[in-house]
Structures are given as structure tokens and as C-alpha cells.
Amino acid sequence: MSRLPRLEPRWLGSVPYRDAWDLQRELVEEVRTGARPDTVLLLEHPHVFTMGRRAVVEHVLWDEEERARREVDLVSCDRGGDVTYHGPGQLVGYPILDLRRHGGDVLLYLRRLEDTLIAYLRQLGIDAGRAPGFTGVWTSGGKVAAIGVRLTENVVSHGFALNLAPDLGYFAGIVPCGIEDRAVTSVEALLGAAPSSESAAQAWSEVFAEAFGLDLPEGRPQLISRIQPA
């Protein structure tokens, strides 16, 4: 029997951004008090632009009328970073971890989270890595994953968005992460095809659990579509 700390991965399907944000806040408190083990939410969002704590309003390029026409929500949230896009075809991951069990350093955590995405993309045959001075995961074709987190009394939340096969045209509505001179790409654009978000969630969960020394249920990522009360 494994003595590793347990990870609870949860596949939630498509969830509106505000609903997932509310759920994160509940889980942060449960993880903080020890009522729940480290948990990661894996999901997609309907079209939404989210503005982090450092967001610049001018980096949202589509006005309210255009956003309404394209059915894009706009949400100001408490993660770090500037403005980004979430939508169908994008795997969103929200690890909710007590960093006291994982080195206690949020900057180290960011680098390790990047590492898990880089390792997963390399499984797909994509040469991914970091770009000096920037957070996220990059390829020769552009940025393929964005990262923004929040730290609440040693518990980290929010996380990453990996572009599998989203409609990249929606990134034209913002200055992604406030970076004006770098392209955004996707697994589909790089390879011609991409796995589904749910299958990517399964594979990435294994990489994440190994990197953070966590045990998956029954030794593999049994992704469950609901969160049970702590």
C-alpha cells in the first residue's frame, strides 16, 4: 500500500467560470484545515475572458457589444496575472494544494507546474519549454499554456489553461497575458489534431501526481465528475 499523500483529481466537464471559482474557494478552506487532501479540478469553461489582479482594462480589445455577439463572459478574479481567455477545447486545471507539503515556495510551485505541462506535451511529441522572463509554456509556434495562481494561507489555487483545440480566434479579443508581441498556439495547430480535454486530463494527472509525489486513487487517475462533501 502506498504511503504517499493522496491526490483527488476531479473531471468536471464544462463549468461556467464563476461556478468553478466558487468551488475552488470552498475547497481551499477544506484543504487548508486538513478536511480534504490535495485536489485538482480539471474542466473546460464556456467562452470567458478573465482578468487577474494585474490586469489592464485596455488589454480587453472587444467591447461589450462584440463580447455579447460572440457569447464571451468577462470576469475579474483574484488570480495573479493579466487577462486571458478560456473556452471549449482548452484543458483548464486548478490544483488546490497545501504548499507546506510541497516546498512552501509559490515560485518553485509555478516552475514545477510548468514542468508537468512540458512533460505532458513532450509525450504528445511537442517540444515545449519556458521563455525567459515569462510564465507559462511555450513552443516555437507560440504560447500553448497560460498559468496564473493565488496563494491563500499556504494553499494554492487557480492554475493553468492548456490550449488543446480551442478556437484561437478568440484570443484576438484580448492582449493575452498582457504580451503584445508573442503568438498563441494550440496542440491542434502544432500537430494537426489534439486529444480531448478529458483524455488529456487523465494523462496529465499521472504526470502531475508523479512530479508532486502524490498517490492517485487505485494508482491511476480515476477522474470523478462530482465533488463529495469533505
- This prediction has a pTM of 0.94
Beta bridge partners of 146: 161
Inside any domain, residue 143: yes
Beta carbons of 222 and 42 less than 8 angstroms apart = no
Inside any domain, residue 208: yes
pLDDT of residue 228: 64
Give the model confidence (pLDDT) of 139-159 as tens digits.
999 999 999 999 999 999 999
* Residue for grid cell 497560460: 146
Inside any domain, residue 230: no
Q: Which residues are catalytic?
A: 177
Which helix or strand (DSSP H or E) is residue 138 part of? Answer: strand 137-139
For residue 229, give every residue at least 6 positions away whose Cβ sits within 8 Å of its Cβ, in sequence order, or none. Answer: none
pLDDT of residue 179: 87
Inside any domain, residue 168: yes
How many alpha carbons fall within 13 Å on the CB side of residue 207?
19
Inside any domain, residue 228: no
Number of domains the chain contains: 1
pLDDT of residue 130: 95
DSSP type of residue 73: E
Inside any domain, residue 210: yes
Name the grid cell of 118. Answer: 512540458
| Sign of the dihedral defined by the CA atoms of residues 143, 188, 113, 27, in that order | positive
Give me the sheet containing 83-86, strands edge to edge. 73-76, 48-51, 83-86
Inside any domain, residue 63: yes
DSSP type of residue 135: -
Q: State the residue range of the domain holding 18.
A: 7-219
pLDDT of residue 1: 45
Residue 202: C-alpha distances to residues 125, 157, 197 (Å): 17, 20, 9
Q: Which residues of the chain have pLDDT under 50?
A: 1-2
CA-CA distance, 83 to 32, in Å (whole number)?
28
Inside any domain, residue 127: yes
CATH number for position 76: 3.30.930.10
